[in-house]
Amino acid sequence: MNAKARFAAIGAVSMLVIAGCSSQQSTSSAPSTSSTPTASTKIVVFAAAAQKKAFSEIGERFSTDNPGGNVEFSFASSADHAAQLTQGAYADVFASAAVNNMDTVAQAGLLAGDPTKFASNILTIAVAPGNPKKIASFADLTRPGVTVAVCAPEIPCGVSIQKIEQATGVNLTPVSQESVVTDVLSKVETGAVDAGLVYATDALGAGDKVTEVAFPESAGAPTTDTIAVLKQSKNPDLAAKFVALVTGEAGQKIFAANGFGKP
């Protein structure tokens, strides 16, 4: 090989080495773009739709108290969550708005321990601001010309409505039955119905978008909220810390501020 060819070969090899080093350096220094928490830092909490505002506040407090610990919430009816869990859905913690749905999950052998009561709730009547239909009682919901939305009978607030109907002998004829209580509230807020039976916490959270009409019969059909860690949890210690926050002094203050009663 003559000198000219030899220099050309050396130059080619050098360029390959430089390119390889540059590629390796680029790969090793590239920042990670993933923002998804690892399994060791995140817990999934199934909670009732009516608990959304309070639990959102508790989730922020939990992340502050446990740096690196994140909470992913799923808000829906407790009946739906119970069905999802018994069919294999994943969650670390289940917070139910009714004891019977927690019982369903317990009977399926999915709980890591006994559930704990942490709050209670009662129904109230939500109407348009100023109460234009002059609704003053549960019985007024059956007046001609008054349209009413309620919860479906299989979810906790729907069960409470049935208990009130049985106790009072007043049977409603709703124009809408919703699968989550927040949808009942939305019907009232948008003017789709004249009145809706929602939780007292929902009416409070709606502010001036609705007017609340409390009625004494609701006290006879409260819901009791319970919470438990699930056996399948990949992060049982962090899940237990979340339950402790909910049932402890700090969590109880948050629930009280959002209109929940004592368990």
| Sequential DSSP letters for 139-165 | GGGGSTT--EEEE-TTSHHHHHHHHHH
Q: What is the CATH number of domain 42-120+224-257?
A: 3.40.190.10
Q: Has residue 175 got a pLDDT over 80?
A: yes
Tens of pLDDT, residue by residue over 115-153, are: 999 999 999 999 999 999 999 999 999 999 999 999 999
pLDDT at residue number 6: 44
The domain segmentation of the chain, as residue ranges, is: 42-120+224-257, 123-220
Mean per-residue pLDDT for 174-193? 97
Q: What confidence score (pLDDT) does residue 41 get?
A: 85
Q: What would the CATH number be for the domain defined by 123-220?
A: 3.40.190.10
**Would you give the distance in Å from CA 218 to the centre of its chain?**
23
Does pTM top 0.75 for this prediction? yes
Whether residue 46 contacts residue 81, with contact meaning beta carbons closer than 8 Å, is answered with: yes
Q: Is 175 helix (H, G, I), strand (E, B) or coil?
A: coil
Give whole-number Cα distances, 11 to 19, 25, 69, 139, 198, in Å: 12, 21, 53, 94, 79
- pLDDT for 56 equals 96
Do 42-120+224-257 and 123-220 come out as alike in CATH topology?
yes
179 falls in which pLDDT band (50, 70, 90)?
very high
223-234: average pLDDT: 97
Q: Are strands 176-178 and 116-121 parallel, antiparallel or unpaired?
A: unpaired
Residue 215 clears pLDDT 80, i.e. is over it:
yes
> What band does 209 get if pLDDT is binned at 50, 70 and 90?
very high
Contact 135, 127 (CB under 8 A): yes
Average pLDDT over residues 160-176: 97
Phi, psi of 233 (to 5 degrees): -55, 130
* Token pair recorded at residue 61: 């407090």
Q: Which residues of 170-199 are buried (b: 16+ CB within 10 A; e: fewer)?
A: eebebebbbbbbbbbbbbbbeeebbbbbbb
Flag whether pLDDT at 5 surpasses 60. Answer: no
SS3 of residue 49 by DSSP = helix
